[in-house]
Amino acid sequence: MRLFRRGEVETSMARLVAGLGNPGPEHARDRHNVGWMVADELARRHQGSFKGKFHGRLADVRVEGEKLALLKPETYMNESGASIQAAAAFYKLASEQVLVVHDDVDLETARLQARLGGGLAGHNGLRSIAQRLGTQEFLRLRVGVGRPGRGDPRPVADYVLSGFAPEDDVDAIVGQAADAVECLAVEGLEETQRRFN
C-alpha cells in the first residue's frame, strides 16, 4: 500500500515521524530511547535542528523531496500521545501519516518491523498515542530490543530502561532503522516491509 506518491505533497508536511523515548541524560542510551536515537540520526543525515515545540523537540527535514517533521516527545513515554496529537493537529495530518518509531521487546534485538495499525502489546507509549489519536491505525516502526536473557532477574520494565548489551551494535541498529524510515517516506509501506521486515 503506497500512501503517498513522490512529489504529491509539495509544500505541506508529508509525515510526522515520532521517535519515542524519555527525557534526561540518564536515559539517553536506554533501549527504551531507541526511537529518539533514530530521530537524532535522521536529523543528522538531513541537516535538521531540533527546537522546543509540542511538549517535545521538533525538526523539519526533507528526504528526497518529502517533507518530514521529526518529533521527540519530552512528556515521558506514558504521555507521548499528548505531544504527537498536538503536532499531528498542527500539520493537519491523518493518523496514517503518523509514523511512531519505538522499542519492542517481542522482536529480537536489531530486528525491524514496519506496519500500519496493530495491537499495543503493553507498550505505554503506544497506548497513550492510540488514546490521543482516537485510533490504533497509525504507522509503526518496531525496533527489536529483545527480552532479558536466561538468568537475568530484571523485570522487562527495568530491562528496557537499561543500555544495550556491549555486543549490540547500537549505531548499526539505529542506522538501519533510519534507513527504514527514509524508505517508508520515499517508497511507501509495502517496499519498506519487503526490504526491512
pTM confidence score: 0.91
The tens digit of pLDDT for each residue in 49-93 reads 999 999 999 999 999 999 999 999 999 889 999 999 999 999 999
Residue 101 grid coordinates? 518509531
> According to the model, what pLDDT value does residue 10 have?
41
Whether 126 maps to a domain, the answer reads yes
Whole-number Å distance between alpha carbons of 120 and 130: 8
Report the number of distinct structural domains present in the chain.
1
pLDDT over 90 (residue 122) = no
Whether 4 maps to a domain, the answer reads no
The tens digit of pLDDT for each residue in 172-197 reads 999 999 999 999 999 999 999 999 99
We report the CATH number of the domain holding residue 171 as: 3.40.50.1470
Query: E strands of the chain, at which residues?
Result: 15-19, 51-53, 56-63, 66-73, 98-104, 112-116, 139-144
CA 49 vs CA 45, 69, 74: distances in Å:
11, 11, 16
Whether 2 maps to a domain, the answer reads no
The tens digit of pLDDT for each residue in 23-37 reads 999 989 999 999 999
Provide the domain limits for residue 31. Answer: 15-196
Q: What value does the mean pLDDT take over residues 106-127?
A: 92
Whether 10 maps to a domain, the answer reads no
Whether 81 maps to a domain, the answer reads yes
- The residues near 36 (Cβ < 8 Å, ≥ 6 apart) are 19, 20, 21, 28, 72
Catalytic residues: 32
Q: What is the CA radius of gyration of the chain?
A: 16
Whether 6 maps to a domain, the answer reads no
Q: What value does the mean pLDDT take over residues 3-11?
A: 45
Whole-number Å distance between alpha carbons of 36 and 75: 13
Whether 144 maps to a domain, the answer reads yes
Q: What value does the mean pLDDT take over residues 121-146?
A: 94
> According to the model, what pLDDT value does residue 4 have?
46
Whether 174 maps to a domain, the answer reads yes
